[in-house]
Amino acid sequence: MDFNLTEEQSMLITTIREMGEKENFRELAMEVDATGEFPFQLLPMYSEMGLLGLTLSEEYGGGGQSALTAVLAIEELAKYSPMIAGPVFESNVGPIRVVDMFGTPEQKELLVRGVCAGDNSVSVCMTEPEAGSDLTSLSTTLTADGGDYVLNGRKIFITGGGHASHYLVYARYGDIMGYKGIGAVLVEKDTPGFTFGEQEQFMGLRGMPSCDLIFEDVRVPKENVVLKAGEFKNLMLTFDIERCGNAAMCLGVAAGACEEARTYATQREAFGRPICEFQDIQFRVVDMATRLEAARLLVYRAATGAGRGLPSMYEASMAKLFANEMVIDVTNSAALVFGGYGYSKQMPVERMVRDGRAWCVAGGTVQMLRVTVASVLFGRRFDQRKGK
């Protein structure tokens, strides 16, 4: 597989690096973590640079570029912080891709254009208090009513909750059981009956808006239907692209931690020598870099295979699985290079350890990814429900 970057992709990386230096993203990342304030001020600049909606349809204002280009941009920005990469993640691999692929022309005109301009954002709303990994047990319902629908239920851990302009809500049509009853509708913020819970307090990703969503008799016009009952498979297909984006966040956080550790090892002295002269430190940094490069190959393979479409479920799941575990190991190892400072908020690596832990749960746990990969390796589906 050819991983040579195009001239355009190399230029994009250079431009992002220059922006990171100029705008002092290293400092901004520390600030966002300390204040818990998401850097919304970046949106107009990202939009102007074409970073929002790189992969979305050109017909509606998107960049029409490949999944790999988006992965490269997310990785580069996540070296500073996942918060700084957040808008590029959401606008390229998030639920807007579902709208771009399966939405009506009217939905695309409003949302794809709005997302590229930085005016709109879309959150994906799947998880419920009693349905996370077991998504097909979800109980949020859409009841037909006079040609429209009425939505009732509760969602939890929704990234962008309270801030996004639109919410792609996975819900069950009527009383159709199992995955066959699940589809998705768009709900606008400020729709009567739609309210938000308290901001979630996570271990890391400080600044990321996240909260519960509560739907009480929310009227959803039929024009807001994105996927009807029975189209759950399409939702899951588009989820593979989000897995690549999630894995790209891991590459970025791990690369940031590797660089912090390598630099510190050349500056810090012990026993009268820079600590990089101790073999344990060298080998630690070598192992970190090796695991990062291995993850990169898996993620780039999945993204390259996707082209301008969707990646294979097998490649995307394996890439996310490996990258999710890699970033935890690499950030932990980087913190050890810093000694006591690795446990102090004075150094970015402490934040990287916390931020690195989110990805093995967000977008599906590593255990569930193993279940998915097992189904491909064994050529059969393993029903996770208690024996019938």
Ligand X SMILES: Cc1cc2nc3c(=O)[nH]c(=O)nc-3n(C[C@H](O)[C@H](O)[C@H](O)COP(=O)(O)OP(=O)(O)OC[C@H]3O[C@@H](n4cnc5c(N)ncnc54)[C@H](O)[C@@H]3O)c2cc1C
d(CA 96, CA 199): 23
For residues 138 and 171, the answer to whether their CB atoms sit within 8 Å is yes
With binding defined as CB under 6 A, does residue 364 bind ligand X?
Answer: yes
What is the helix (H) or strand (E) element at residue 270, kind and residue range? strand 269-270
Residue type present at position 128: E
First-residue to last-residue Cα distance in the chain: 44
With binding defined as CB under 6 A, does residue 238 bind ligand X?
Answer: no
When binding is defined by CB under 6 A, the residue of 126, 182, 251, 321 that contacts ligand X is: 126
Give the binding range for ligand X (CB under 6 A) out of 12-20, 60-68, 153-161, 233-241: 153-161
Smallest gap from residue 192 Cβ to ligand X (A)? 23
With binding defined as CB under 6 A, does residue 371 bind ligand X?
Answer: yes
Q: Kind of pairing, strands 141-145 and 166-173? A: parallel
With binding defined as CB under 6 A, does residue 133 bind ligand X?
Answer: yes
Residue nearer to ligand X on the CB measure, 36 or 64 = 36
Q: What six digits make up the tokens of 295?
A: 């993850």
With binding defined as CB under 6 A, does residue 87 bind ligand X?
Answer: no
* Nearest Cα residue to 93 out of 254, 299, 239: 239
When binding is defined by CB under 6 A, the residue of 185, 205, 220, 276 that contacts ligand X is: 205
Give the binding range for ligand X (CB under 6 A) out of 121-129, 187-195, 234-242, 280-288: 121-129
When binding is defined by CB under 6 A, the residue of 65, 140, 159, 372 that contacts ligand X is: 159
Q: ∠ at Cα 80 (75, 81), nearest 5°?
A: 85
Smallest gap from residue 191 Cβ to ligand X (A)? 18
Residue given tokens 């794809």 in the structure block: 112
With binding defined as CB under 6 A, does residue 197 bind ligand X?
Answer: no
DSSP 128: B
With binding defined as CB under 6 A, does residue 367 bind ligand X?
Answer: yes
Smallest gap from residue 360 Cβ to ligand X (A)? 9
Question: Three-state SS for 103?
Answer: coil
- Total interface residues for ligand X by CB under 6 A: 22
- Residue at shortest CB range from ligand X: 132
When binding is defined by CB under 6 A, the residue of 102, 157, 173, 300 that contacts ligand X is: 157
Q: Spell out a b/e string for 250-277, using b for 16 or more CB atoms within 10 Å of the CB, else e.
A: bbbbbbbbbebbbebbeeeeeeeeebbe
With binding defined as CB under 6 A, does residue 158 bind ligand X?
Answer: yes
Residue nearer to ligand X on the CB measure, 43 or 371 = 371
d(CA 83, CA 354): 13
With binding defined as CB under 6 A, does residue 368 bind ligand X?
Answer: yes
Residues that bind ligand X (CB under 6 A): 123-127, 132-134, 157-159, 202, 205, 358, 361-362, 364-365, 367-368, 371, 384
